[in-house]
């Protein structure tokens, strides 16, 4: 009987996660298409997160948004002379440049020294038409000049606003350049883009897939096994230079488990199979559920993120004119008519703060004291009346024989958004606005024929999200030039179609204002204008939900770092002697 029980336990018993062998098991709901592709030809969040364990950069950002030197010997600044801004006689910045010196001990995981050639190789390819990088900003305007064996200067002309806060990528030229030369020879005269693309895939897949893991990496961990559809394991890279004191006290192996179904991911947390969850994993609701069953086995965190949820109001086309959506008073009325505080309390336990600007609240550019549009039905009704809208016999506002009836769309199947829609629909109904919910699959909603075609009256209200990076904020979302039109190939992102002369002027100034305090002033005014005109109804900045077990230290992230992999060299178990440097805020 005992033998049978022991055999059963062996067969059925699942390995428990934990610090026993100084390893870490992380659950995530997505699997990356590839890893450590130096040119980031896919832009999935999970790819960025996992690459964080294996990658290194000249300059990194910590959880507080402060830059630190990684491959570089120091953080470039005007004060230390590594960052230079060149102005013309009129005082306008015409170009800027950053000089980096590579640390002597910076090595690839195979022990080869990281050289300027690795940055040059990366830069050459990122600007090659055959490499399908999504965008080349700012690298297409950058030139690299070699100063000596370990020092180079990158010059941006026209100047790049965030030159001192970003840095060019790198690729292992000693590993990849021979294959690249072969690719180059094979495709130099090839006219058919599809053939070139197939060759590119052959080239890049030799270094980035489950079948062909990266040969070398620069970061704290190197990949050792990738079981497609199941897990990816990484091992500590002994050649990484920014090791904590006593690196053996910190996590030695990290395994990502790919669990696409988030309910199954939840069961994995409850059953103790996971030490932590990725930033790409749980939904908000699941996070709330998990807080109820913690019992000291794990802790749930809600981290203020960089994703801004909002409702665009279509100001373009005849229908928008008929419904006064192109009039700021109508948009203000719609905002006054909804109780966003009650909404976030009801749905998110108040954990997702109401926003009144598109700028991330943790950004230095964020303006706190704009109008907060607190719920005020009386004010909303006043504004409707001022525009000539009066209640009909059915209670719906009307003007000139037309009802104030709006189509409200979002991505179908997103239960949180669908619940928000229903609450808002009920609140607008109270002030006489009829809202018809019409949702679409993501592929349609974000496809080429919906959001960007506001001119054709395809929608009135559209709820979706943008990433609001607290560092690289340029104010592009609402610039007039960003209105998607046939002329610009529908490439802009100002789907609301709002075009404000003052905002556009300020935005242009801000784009070339290299003095932060002056930029803050410009953004202050931009946010005031935006907040008065409300081309979009701001809802809230989303939080990221994750869990981790007690005793796991330095597994943290913020809206600056986005992923817990930013500080992976220092992730460890307190019980193994790992020292806590960062607490989750």
**Residue 391: is it exposed, middle or buried by C-beta count within 10 angstroms (0-12/13-18/19+)?**
middle
Q: Are 183 and 174 in contact (CB under 8 A)?
A: no
The smaller minimum CB distance to other proteins, of residues 194 and 245, is found at: 194
Closest to other proteins by CB, 182 or 491: 491
What residues from 289 to 318 belong to the interface with other proteins (CB under 8 A)? Answer: none
Tokens read off for 549: 């077990």
State in angstroms the smallest separation of the CB of 5 from other proteins. Answer: 7
Q: How many CB atoms lie within 10 A of CB 492?
A: 18
Site string for other proteins, 115-154 (x = CB under 8 A): --------------xx-x-xxxx-----------------
For helices 173-187 and 193-208, angle between their N-to-C axes, nearest 10 degrees: 160
Question: From CA 365, how far away is CA 573, in angstroms rounded?
Answer: 37
- Which part of the chain contacts other proteins (CB under 8 A), choosing from 330-338, 342-350, 352-360, 473-481? 473-481
Which region, judged by CB under 8 A, interacts with other proteins, from 59-67, 80-88, 194-202, 369-377?
Answer: 194-202
Q: How many residues does the chain have?
A: 585
Residue 574, class by beta-carbon neighbours within 10 Å (0-12 exposed, 13-18 middle, 19+ buried)? middle
Q: Which helix (H) or strand (E) holds 302?
A: strand 299-313
**Which residues on adjacent β-strands are paired with residue 467?**
307
Rg (CA), the chain: 26
Q: For 304, how many CA atoms within 13 A lie in the half-sphere containing its CB?
A: 19
Minimal distance in Å, beta carbon 577 to other proteins?
21
Residues 174-193 that bind other proteins (CB under 8 A): 193
We find the least distance from the C-beta atom of residue 356 to other proteins, in angstroms, to be 21
Residues 47, 44: Cα–Cα separation, whole Å: 5
> Quick one: 77 or 271, whose CB is closer to other proteins?
271
Q: Shortest Cβ distance from residue 446 to other proteins (Å)? A: 5
Coil, strand or helix: which one is 401? coil
231 versus 405: smaller Cβ distance to other proteins: 231
- Between strands 405-409 and 461-467, the pairing is parallel
Which stretch in 9-17, 309-317, 356-364, 525-533 sits in contact with other proteins by CB under 8 A? 9-17
Rounded Cα distance between 366 and 344, Å, is 21
Looking at the DSSP bridge assignments, the partners of residue 232 are 226, 256
Contact 361, 469 (CB under 8 A): no
Site string for other proteins, 373-412 (x = CB under 8 A): ----------------------------------------
For residue 264, the minimal CB distance to other proteins (Å) is 4
State in angstroms the smallest separation of the CB of 228 from other proteins: 5
* Contact positions with other proteins (CB under 8 A) in 13-42: 13-17, 21, 23, 25, 33-34, 42
Q: Which two tokens stand for residue 228?
A: 């497609």
Task: Give dist(CA 23, CA 234) in Å, integer.
Answer: 10
Residue from 491, 518, 532, 580 touching other proteins (CB under 8 A): that is 491
Could you tell me the smallest distance in angstroms from the CB atom of residue 37 to other proteins? 8
**Residues 126, 130, 132, 135, CA torsion sign:** positive
Nearer CB in complex with other proteins: 210/380:
210
Residues 6 or more apart from 345 whose CB is under 8 A from it?
none
State the minimum distance, in angstroms, from the CB of residue 200 to other proteins: 8
Cα-to-chain-centroid distance, residue 286: 21
Closest CA to 380 of 422, 426, 433: 433
Q: At its nearest, how many Å lie between other proteins and the CB of residue 12?
A: 6
Q: Which stretch binds other proteins (CB under 8 A): 154-162, 442-450, 521-529, 567-575?
A: 442-450
The enclosing H or E element of 383 equals helix 377-386
Nearer to other proteins, 257 or 340 (CB): 257
Is residue 444 close enough to count as binding other proteins by CB under 8 A? yes
Q: Find the binding residues for other proteins in span 202-261 (CB under 8 A).
A: 202, 204-205, 208-211, 224-225, 227-231, 233, 255, 257-261
5 interacts with other proteins by CB under 8 A: yes
The bridge status of strand 572-573 relative to strand 552-553 is antiparallel
Window 261-280: residues binding other proteins (CB under 8 A): 261, 263-264, 267-268, 270-271, 273
Query: Which of the ranges 69-77, 152-160, 195-203, 521-529 carries the binding residues for other proteins, by CB under 8 A?
Result: 195-203
* Interaction between residue 508 and other proteins (CB under 8 A): no
How far, in Å, are 62, 128, 311, 340, 447 from residue 497 at the CA level? 36, 33, 13, 24, 17
Q: Which positions from 40 through 79 interact with other proteins, judged by CB under 8 A?
A: 42-43
Residue 1 near other proteins by CB under 8 A: no
Please pick, from the candidates 153, 177, 430, 467, the single residue that binds other proteins as defined by CB under 8 A. Answer: 467
Residue 366: CB minimum distance to other proteins, A: 17
Beta strand ranges found along 46-200 (DSSP E): 59-61, 67-69, 83-87, 93-101, 142-148, 151-156
- Residue selected from 3, 188, 194, 245 as contacting other proteins according to rule CB under 8 A: 194
Total residues at interface with other proteins (CB under 8 A): 77
Q: For other proteins, which is the closer residue by CB, 297 or 368?
A: 297
With CB under 8 A as the contact rule, which of the stretches 107-115, 364-372, 489-497, 517-525 interacts with other proteins? 489-497
């Amino acid at each position: 009987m005992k033998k049978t029980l022991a055999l059963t336990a062996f067969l059925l018993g699942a390995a428990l996660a934990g610090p026993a062998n100084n390893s870490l098991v992380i659950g995530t709901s997505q699997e990356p298409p590839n890893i450590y592709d130096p040119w980031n030809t896919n832009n999935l969040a999970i790819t960025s997160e996992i690459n964080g364990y294996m990658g290194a950069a000249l300059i990194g950002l910590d959880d507080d948004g402060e830059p630190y030197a990684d491959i570089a010997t120091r953080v470039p600044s005007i004060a230390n002379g590594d960052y230079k801004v060149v102005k013309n006689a009129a005082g306008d910045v015409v170009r800027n440049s950053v000089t980096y010196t590579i640390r002597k001990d910076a090595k690839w995981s195979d022990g080869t020294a990281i050289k300027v050639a690795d940055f040059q190789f990366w830069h050459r390819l990122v600007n090659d038409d055959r490499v399908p990088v999504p965008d080349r900003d700012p690298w297409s305007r950058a030139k690299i000049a070699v100063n000596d064996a370990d020092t180079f200067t990158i010059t941006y002309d026209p100047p790049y606003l965030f030159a001192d806060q970003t840095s060019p990528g790198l690729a292992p030229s000693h590993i990849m350049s021979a294959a690249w030369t072969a690719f180059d020879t094979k495709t130099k005269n090839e006219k058919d883009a599809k053939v070139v693309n197939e060759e590119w895939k052959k080239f890049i897949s030799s270094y980035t897939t489950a079948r062909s893991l990266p040969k070398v990496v620069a970061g704290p961990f190197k990949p050792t096994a990738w079981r497609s559809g199941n897990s990816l394991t990484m091992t500590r890279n002994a050649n990484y230079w920014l090791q904590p004191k006593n690196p053996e006290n910190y996590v030695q192996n990290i395994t990502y488990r790919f669990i696409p179904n988030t309910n199954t991911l939840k069961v994995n947390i409850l059953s103790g199979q996971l030490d932590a969850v990725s930033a790409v994993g749980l939904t908000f609701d699941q996070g709330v559920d998990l807080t109820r069953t913690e019992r000291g086995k794990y802790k749930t965190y809600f981290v203020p993120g960089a994703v801004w949820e909002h409702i665009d109001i279509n100001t373009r086309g005849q229908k928008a004119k008929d419904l006064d959506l192109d009039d700021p008073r109508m948009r203000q009325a719609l905002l006054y008519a909804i109780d966003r505080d009650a909404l976030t309390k009801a749905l998110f336990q108040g954990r997702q703060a109401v926003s009144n600007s598109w700028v991330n609240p943790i950004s230095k550019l964020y303006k706190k004291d704009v109008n907060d549009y607190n719920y005020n039905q009386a004010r909303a009704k006043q504004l409707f009346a001022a525009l000539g809208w009066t209640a009909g016999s059915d209670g719906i506002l009307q003007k000139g024989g037309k009802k104030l009836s709006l189509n409200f769309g979002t991505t179908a199947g997103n239960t949180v958004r669908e619940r928000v829609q229903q609450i808002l629909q009920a609140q607008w109904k109270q002030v006489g606005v009829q809202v018809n919910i019409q949702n679409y699959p993501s592929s349609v909603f974000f496809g080429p024929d919906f959001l960007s075609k506001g001119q054709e009256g395809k929608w009135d209200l559209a709820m979706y999200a943008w990433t609001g990076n607290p560092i690289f904020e340029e104010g592009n979302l609402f610039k007039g030039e960003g209105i998607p039109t046939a002329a610009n190939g529908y490439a802009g992102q100002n789907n609301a179609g709002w075009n404000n002369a003052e905002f556009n002027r300020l935005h242009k100034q801000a784009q070339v204002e290299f003095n932060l305090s002056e930029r803050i002033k410009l953004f202050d005014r931009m946010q005031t204008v935006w907040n008065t005109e409300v081309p979009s109804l701001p809802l809230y900045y989303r939080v990221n939900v994750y869990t981790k077990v007690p005793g796991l230290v330095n597994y943290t992230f913020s809206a600056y770092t986005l992923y817990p992999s930013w500080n992976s060299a220092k992730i460890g178990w307190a019980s193994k002697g790992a020292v806590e440097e960062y607490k989750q805020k």
